[in-house]
Amino acid sequence: MNNPTKVCKSSLQPMESVDWDFLSHKQALQIHGIYVPGTDPLQTMEGRKIFRFFRLSILPEKSSDVCVPLKLSMVPRQNTPYSFVSGELFYNGEKLCPKGMTIRHAPLLPEENTWHLKGYTFPFEGTPQLYKELRLNLRISGSCPGRCRFCHRWHSHRLKPDGSQKNNPRKILARLLEDEGGEVLKKVRRMLVISELFGLEKRFLNSISSTRDVVDKFGYGEDKPFGCSASDVRGLEGLKTLHTLIRPSRYSFSLEFFSGRDRYMGHYKGLPMDRVYPILENARKAGFREIQLNYLAGIDSLEELYDGMKKLVELGLVDSLGLSTFTAFSQEQLDLRHESAWDPLYYHQAVNVFNRLGIKVFRPESFDMGTPYSVLMEKTE
């Protein structure tokens, strides 16, 4: 293998609007976490000790195209060179003050607040585009059956006070309009169903079908994107049905990573790759024009990433990637990160692999995946 992961420095293009040094800091913040003096970084949830979330909003003063605040883990002082003190960000004790940016803490409502159970991610407070993307969560089980070791969603694994596990799409939309105003759906540019696993293809498809009917009736707009992460739909017939329900023609499958699939993911999600290929082939046969794989960078070695992606490309089973960075939210999860992925250069090299293999980053990007990958892609293109 001729070093597939080497960054082509000659192809790095200067881009006036991007502060590359600060971009590396953003990446490193996701890797190392942030220390906040005076706050216990650990909390106990379902008997486990986990790091608290810390949302850091980093907004360019001029551009309106920004992502939601970075979701970071709050860690002990010895874990990280980053700290947040009196509303300011520090790196090894030195204040980070990127030109043209404002940085602030974007607090979340307390865990017990029912806001977390409303079934939609709205509005994106702290960004200029409060209503750009609407994500609907149709299922709240209190504990996703996936039970993946790398997952941070046990932060949201809580049941509704009445113990119900399903979010009725009609009720979600009704609440949304009540909270945000009758015209809000007109401002939404794309809608996605992001949910825990359903475990049954038919049940998932029924939910998607009824949700699409509801959002169309509520006036979302029948020409606007309506998609979902559809790892529950795996058989050819189910995929044909799914193809009639979503727009545009994109099958989104949560691949996550190649190595340790059987150890780091639950058995339903962590299929070995030789069982993943037929699912993606079915998606092609069902007529999907684009296969989008959600990929979590930081767990594979770069060689595993390259070999895995190359094979998918050779089989014609990937067109685009929804990229995110693995962030550890507990001491045990820190061990899941590949040793090479502690270096921010790893992510540049990963992006370089995607470029070399001709894989595009999913566009429009998912709202909280937007940076730094989009700019990294441009940097290495």
Catalog residues that contact ligand SF4 under the rule CB under 6 A.
144, 146-148, 151, 153, 196-197, 266, 269
Q: Find out whether 173 and 215 touch, Cβ atoms under 8 Å.
A: yes
Q: 220 or 295: whose CB is closer to ligand SF4?
A: 295
Q: 89 or 280: whose CB is closer to ligand SF4?
A: 280
Name the minimum Å distance from CB 315 to ligand SF4.
Answer: 24
Q: Where are the alpha helices (DSSP H) in 218-344?
A: 236-245, 261-264, 273-285, 302-314, 331-334
Q: Find out whether 53 and 74 touch, Cβ atoms under 8 Å.
A: yes
Name the minimum Å distance from CB 269 to ligand SF4.
Answer: 5
Q: 197 or 297: whose CB is closer to ligand SF4?
A: 197
- Enumerate the β-bridge partners of residue 183: none
> Backbone phi, then psi, for 37, in 5-degree steps?
-55, 145
Q: Please tell me whether residue 171 adopts helix, strand or coil conformation.
A: helix
Q: 184 or 321: whose CB is closer to ligand SF4?
A: 321
Q: What is the DSSP string of 98-150?
A: -TTEEEEE-PPPPTT-GGGGSSEE---TTSS-TTSEEEE--B--SS-TT--TT
Name the minimum Å distance from CB 199 to ligand SF4.
Answer: 10
Peptide bond just before 98 cis, omega within 30 deg: no
Name the minimum Å distance from CB 153 to ligand SF4.
Answer: 4
Tell me which residue has its CB nearest to ligand SF4: 146
How many CB atoms are closer than 10 A to CB 349? 23
Name the minimum Å distance from CB 97 to ligand SF4.
Answer: 36
Q: 220 or 367: whose CB is closer to ligand SF4?
A: 367
